[in-house]
Amino acid sequence: MRYFLSLGSNLGDRNKNLEKAAELLSKVGIRIIASSSVYKTEPVGIITGRWFYNQALEVETVYDPEELLCRVKRIEEQMGRVRTGCPGSRSIDIDILLAENKTLSTKTLQIPHPRMVKRNFVLYPLSEIAPEVKHPVLNEAIKDLLEKSKDRSYVKKL
């Protein structure tokens, strides 16, 4: 199954954290098909002083969405991510954005990611690697969602 993931880091060596996360994904049976550039982004919706580095990945794996989520959470823990319930700084954050043209809503996972269309730090990198991919609910291309975005937070390709 083909997925799009969003990676973000604002603790430690942010570039190395993104590289390490991609390496660990590859080691657990998740093949990376495409990687966006890294973007420096303003924190949105969290309290932190350090800006993020964000990246989007297109991946392929045999895992269903719930199993992929389990693998992703283990990688976050392995990299030192601590979930406090309070949004803030993190060594790595990996979100599942899209799973082909499927939708899913469980207690632990929503696909497409419910806030992706409101976040330029997701849309810019995703648009770089998948501009024509359509959001399965809105039926609009990622590049068009980026053009329509009302998010005015800072995003800069590094």
Give the residue numbers marked as catalytic.
Answer: 81, 90, 93, 95
Bridge partners, 99 (sequence order): 3, 102
Q: Can you tell me which residue has the tokens 């570039």? A: 15
Q: Under a CB-based contact definition with an 8 Å cutoff, are residues 123 and 142 in contact?
A: yes
Chain centroid to CA 102:
17
Q: What end-to-end distance do the CA atoms of the chain give, in Å? A: 30
| Closest of 79, 80, 78, 72 to residue 97, by C-alpha | 72
Secondary element (H or E) of residue 144:
helix 142-148
Per-residue DSSP letters for 51-75?
PEEEEEEEEE-S--HHHHHHHHHHH
Smallest CA-to-CA distance from 57 within 76, 80, 30 is with: 30
